[in-house]
Structure 1
Amino acid sequence: MGMTTMIQTMIKEGKIVPSEVTIKLLDKAILGIDNDKFLIDGFPRNEENRAAFEAVTKIEPELVLFFDCPEEEMERRLLSRNQGREDDNIETIRKRFKVFLDSSLPVVEYYAAKGKVKKIDASKPVQEVFAAVKTIFTPKDDKAANNVKESHGK
C-alpha cells in the first residue's frame, strides 16, 4: 500500500494519520519555502502530533487559530456541501467530531494556557469569519489591511 493510499484510507475511516508521516511531509514543505512564516491547517490533531512536531522541527507556533463552531452547525454545513468529501456522511462527521473533542481540543487547551490561541466564532457568515481572521493577521499599524486576499478552501 502506497503512502497516498494509506493516508486516504485512514481519512476515510476517520482516523488520524501517524505523526511521523505528517511531520515528514510538513518538515519537507517548511524547508522548501523561502518564507519564515507559514500557516499549517488542521495540525497538530492530537497531543502526540504536537509533541512530535515540536521535537522534530524545533518549531513552536507563534499563534493558533481556533475556529469554534457548534456541532449542529458543522453537520449542517458539511452535509450541504455540494462538492463534499466522500466521508461527508452523518456517522463519519459525528465520529470526526468526537475524535476532535477527545484528541484535538486538549492541544487547543495546551496552547491556550500559553496565551497563543486566537478563537474565532465560525458559526457566523463567511464574510464575518474572514474579517475576524484578517484582523488577527493585520499589523497593528496597518489600518487598510488590503494585503490579505480572501480564498475559500474545501
Structure 2
Amino acid sequence: MNIVLLGAPGAGKGTQAQKLVAEYGLAHISTGDLLRAAVKAQSELGIKAKEYMDAGQLVPDQLVIDLVKERLSADDAKAGFILDGFPRNTAQAVTLDSELQNMGLKLDAALLVAVEPEVIVERLSSRRTCKECGYTAPAGTETCPNCSGEMYQRDDDKPETIRKRLDVYENQTSPLIEYYKGHGILKEVNGDRPVDEVFADVKTLLAL
C-alpha cells in the first residue's frame, strides 16, 4: 500500500501515519525529515539542499524527488510507504507519478485528513513544543515528558500565523485534492474526532 498523506498543519496527519506504520509496517517518509537528515549527513543531495536552504530559497522539486527516490529504494519501503509533506502542488504530483512509474511503483491512495480551519487554530495555538527535542504537548505542560526540556509556544503556533499558514495550504492544496480526485484515488476522512475513531475509518477507507 503506497499512500500520499494530505491535510492542513495540525490536522493530525502525523498521528495517523504513526498508527499506520505501527500496525502495517509501512515506511513513513516525511520530506522535511529527509531534508534535515541529508543535510546533517552531508550527503551529495544534502549539500545541494543546504545551499538553497541557507539562501532562504525553496529546495527545487527535482532535488526533493531525488531524495524521495533514494529513500524508496531502502528495504523498509518495499512493503509500502506513506509520503508526508510531498507533493504540495499538482506540478509536483505529476512529477512524482512519473518517477514512481519509472520505478515500477504507483500510488494506491491519497488520504486527506480533513479538519475545519478554526478547530486547527484552536488545536495548534494551545500546544507547546520542547526546545530540546521538539516533542509537542498541550498548553500548561512546562517540562517535556520526553526529555525534561523546557516547553514553549512556537511563533508558528500563534493564531494569526496559523491562519496565514492555512490560507497558503488551502491555495496550494485545493488543486492537488482535485488532481487525486480526478485519478480516483482520493480518500477523505473527518479528522475532527478522537484519534482511534479516525484511524478506524482510515482502515476502512484504505480497505486494510
TM-score of the superposition, structure 1-length normalised? 0.72
Residues 5, 125 of structure 1: alpha-carbon distance in 2 compared, 3 angstrom cutoff:
farther
Identity of aligned residues (%): 32
Tell me the residue number matched to 1:43.
86
User: Where in structure 2 are there 5+ consecutive unaligned residues?
Assistant: 1-38, 40-46, 130-135, 137-153
Q: Tell me, in whole angstroms, the C-alpha distance in 1 between the residues paired with 2:194 and 2:54.
A: 30
Q: Paired residue for 1:75, among 101, 121, 126?
A: 121
Q: Give the strand-richer structure, 1 or 2.
A: 2
User: Where in structure 1 are there 5+ consecutive unaligned residues?
Assistant: 140-154
**Aligned residue-pair number:** 135
Tell me the residue number matched to 2:67.
25
Q: Paired residue for 1:66, among 97, 100, 112?
A: 112
Matched-pair contact (CA < 8 Å) for 2:111–2:187: yes
Matched-pair contact (CA < 8 Å) for 1:45–1:104: yes
Counting only pairs closer than 5 Å after superposition, residues 3-152 of structure 1 correspond to structure 2 as: 3=49, 6-7=52-53, 17-34=59-76, 35-58=78-101, 59-83=105-129, 84=136, 87-139=156-208
Deviation, structure 1 residue 8: 8.8
Instruction: Write the letter of the residue equivalent to 2:85.
Output: G
SS at match of 1:20: helix
Runs of 4+ aligned residues of structure 1 deviating over 4 Å after TM superposition are: 4-10
Q: Tell me, in whole angstroms, the C-alpha distance in 1 between the residues paired with 2:71 and 2:203.
A: 24
SS at match of 2:85: coil
TM-score of the superposition, structure 2-length normalised? 0.55
Indicate the RMSD between aligned Cα atoms, in angstroms.
2.8
Deviation, structure 1 residue 122: 0.7
